[in-house]
Structure 1
């Protein structure tokens, strides 16, 4: 008979988890673990977190030490200088105008600067583009330009300014053609120059160049539709015209032409007489630039004058547009006389008001050099800075670096940049130096830098 095992089957139990070291030691030594206290908890946490915090500190210090340094920067103490006193310009009751001195900036602006017809003032841009595309040096006559049949026919027009007596096939130098353009304001000379430049029978390509040049000069409110200004859709503002005048008056050839009261050109039956001759001879040192008149435009004028102040003789530029007389005015002849008369008053007033003013004295603090960590060293003018302007005129001030990177360390008196007061390439400027030693950033600076 088979034996039956009646003993109960033993079941396996899952192994218990390992005890903590202190509990295990207590069991082995038969000593109970010490009770949990805040002190024991704090000590255990310190032991755990101290290595982690030390590692993070090492990483932070290394990152701060290797991090690229911020660039030093110059900061100006003032961005605007206002000349002492007050000054009034005798502007007319209507229209718009502006006056500026290249280098000093705007003296005054009058009226709403909205685009209005320019009339023959547009020829300033025609001359500018011609001289830009075909530069002439002082005394050069330039290439010969052949008169075409269109120029001859346009010379017979009775209701526009033109050069009469041209014959097809005759040639004139570029300089003589510019005289025909600017002195008696020949519309047919303007169109002939435009066709000559474009090499075809149309002026469209040249007009595109006129608008491109206006854009380059920042003449945002100007549009040219023809090279003569006869088209009333050729529009501009007084302020825009001074941007052009400042650029074109840099040409020796242009300045000489627009200052001529008259000129005799071989091949023309009569001398050329300037529409601006009364102003050129008014004893106000007016040396151009261009008049304009038409029924849509009224009288327009852009002028240039000079005034010796101390040891300098600055160029003064002005413009006036939209001048109209009351009553009938065929071809705006009376309006032309009005704009010249009103402009003469402005020229005389501005010339009488010009002053030479020292706006910054040698040693004056004009800004600071920031080392990038918030430490600032004063910057001072190395010599006096003198400007020419009228009382009350506002002049923009700019503090610029040396052209490369600013130094992180420098001795006292080191030239650090330039202070310019005014606007444009002719604005007066003086060198500036650091007033005190500039030290290299310290290790503490590097560590404390959070931004």
Structure 2
């Protein structure tokens, strides 16, 4: 019977121990390697922004001097709604403000290119008869000569500047064949442009059945300003037309208190004025559009409009709620990098009266980013106006490096959990 020698048994035991120890060491090294690989490749945690929202800005309310009579409204181009009004939804006789509707209706089908006079309009004895008929009715007229040829722009100047009723009919006949056809076209134009509370029955406003609300008249004025031919005509104090001589504007406020348009209207019972005015506000300007209907005389309504405009104009002001490079958020990473989010540009708005200006900051959480990266927006709001300004970093948020990753497993675990849940 053969027995194993003691020395052989000891050797086998040592060999088992050595290999067991090696297995343990290898396991530890493998685990460390897995941990290191995971740590070095794991996402780093995001840095939440500490946002600095600027406080809203609002001026003290402007005290207005408002008419105590008639129907009136005042607005401004680019500003929602009306700045102030009284009886603004009450239909009232427009008188010669009707001529603005006539001119817009004609130009909608016979446009005049900017800087040009448009097509020729030939005048005959029939137009002279229209002149005398209007004069006999006590309406305002502008001179006309049989055999004369005027451009459409010159014809519209005779209609709007001295408020020639006779030109309303003559232009209607030329453009549409008759005044009745013009009336039909004009009412369709009014409906298409949202002026539902305005209605015309003739081309000049002679009838008190030509009615509109003050609110509609402000909208009409804004539309007329968008038509270059009309805007230029109503801003003219006078024009010289060879066949007609000098025509003088019936709007006595032109060139005063910022007034640069638009149309008078006179009935047997009242005086009206649809007016526009421009005011410099900071680096820009504001165009005001207003109307006063139902005054006793033009002297009375002119005085009321001047007082109103002189109180309205100071109510517009420029606000700069954001400056370029203004700090709106700050970042502080767990590994010690810091950066600030700055406004990429400034923002300036023109506001009316006590309209508040607010800045809403939206800054993203950031982990790794370069200087100049966009990390959110600042939204400036003033009424319905909105300006969006990008936010950019003023420093880089760099990778924390291997040592920080290996020594901050908890932070990496949290970052991984956040990443997995997104």
Give the structure-1-normalised TM-score.
0.62
Matching residue within 270, 276, 287 for 1:315: 287
> How far apart, CA to CA, are the structure 2 residues paired with 1:231 and 1:82?
49
> How far apart, CA to CA, are the structure 1 residues paired with 2:195 and 2:387?
30
How far has the Cα of 1:97 moved from its partner? 1.3
Q: Do the aligned partners of 2:64 and 2:311 also contact (CA within 8 Å) in 1?
A: yes
Decide which structure has greater helix share. 2
Matching residue within 293, 308, 322 for 1:346: 308
Partner of 2:267: 294
What does 1:238-277 align with in structure 2 at a 5 Å threshold? 238-268=214-244, 270-276=245-251
Q: Do the aligned partners of 2:59 and 2:356 also contact (CA within 8 Å) in 1?
A: no
Partner of 2:65: 90
Q: Do the aligned partners of 2:271 and 2:298 also contact (CA within 8 Å) in 1?
A: yes
Taking structure 1 as reference, are residues 85 and 266 closer, same or farther at Cα in structure 2, changes over 3 Å only?
same
Cα deviation per residue 1:51-101 (whole Å; 9 max; x = unaligned)? Answer: xxxxxxxxxxxxxxxxxxxxxxxxxx9xxx994311222122111211111
Partner of 1:161: 140
Which secondary structure does the structure 1 equivalent of 2:63 belong to? coil
> How far apart, CA to CA, are the structure 1 residues paired with 2:173 and 2:180?
9
Are 2:75 and 1:103 aligned? Answer: no
How far has the Cα of 1:420 moved from its partner? 6.6
Which secondary structure does the structure 2 equivalent of 1:300 belong to? strand
> How far apart, CA to CA, are the structure 1 residues paired with 2:102 and 2:375?
48
Cα deviation per residue 1:254-300 (whole Å; 9 max; x = unaligned)? Answer: 222111111111111x4111111x31132x2211100111024x111
Q: Do the aligned partners of 1:383 and 1:431 also contact (CA within 8 Å) in 2?
A: no
What does 1:225-236 align with in structure 2 at a 5 Å threshold? 225-236=201-212
Partner of 2:43: none
What does 1:45-444 align with in structure 2 at a 5 Å threshold? 83-105=58-80, 106-156=82-132, 157-158=135-136, 159-164=138-143, 166-198=144-176, 200=177, 202-268=178-244, 270-276=245-251, 278-282=252-256, 284-296=257-269, 298-324=270-296, 335-358=297-320, 384-393=346-355, 413=374, 421-422=382-383, 428-431=385-388
Which secondary structure does the structure 1 equivalent of 2:201 belong to? coil
> How far apart, CA to CA, are the structure 2 residues paired with 1:254 and 1:420?
33
Q: Do the aligned partners of 2:344 and 2:392 also contact (CA within 8 Å) in 1?
A: no
> How far apart, CA to CA, are the structure 2 residues paired with 1:102 and 1:419?
20
Q: Do the aligned partners of 1:286 and 1:303 also contact (CA within 8 Å) in 2?
A: yes
> How far apart, CA to CA, are the structure 2 residues paired with 1:203 and 1:192?
8
How far has the Cα of 1:241 moved from its partner? 1.0
Taking structure 1 as reference, are residues 130 and 155 closer, same or farther at Cα in structure 2, changes over 3 Å only?
same
Which secondary structure does the structure 2 equivalent of 1:280 belong to? coil
Cα deviation per residue 1:14-64 (whole Å; 9 max; x = unaligned)? Answer: xxxxxxxxxxxxxxxxxxxxxxxxxxxxxxxxxxxxxxxxxxxxxxxxxxx
How far has the Cα of 1:252 moved from its partner? 2.5
Structure 2 unaligned segments of length 5 or more: list them: 1-52, 329-341, 361-368, 394-418
> How far apart, CA to CA, are the structure 2 residues paired with 1:151 and 1:108?
42
Report how many residues are paired.
Answer: 316
How far has the Cα of 1:184 moved from its partner? 0.3
Two-structure CA RMSD over aligned residues (Å): 3.4
Taking structure 1 as reference, are residues 110 and 386 closer, same or farther at Cα in structure 2, changes over 3 Å only?
farther
Which secondary structure does the structure 2 equivalent of 1:313 belong to? strand
Which secondary structure does the structure 2 equivalent of 1:214 belong to? helix
> How far apart, CA to CA, are the structure 2 residues paired with 1:185 and 1:147?
18
Q: Do the aligned partners of 2:344 and 2:391 also contact (CA within 8 Å) in 1?
A: no
> How far apart, CA to CA, are the structure 2 residues paired with 1:136 and 1:288?
20
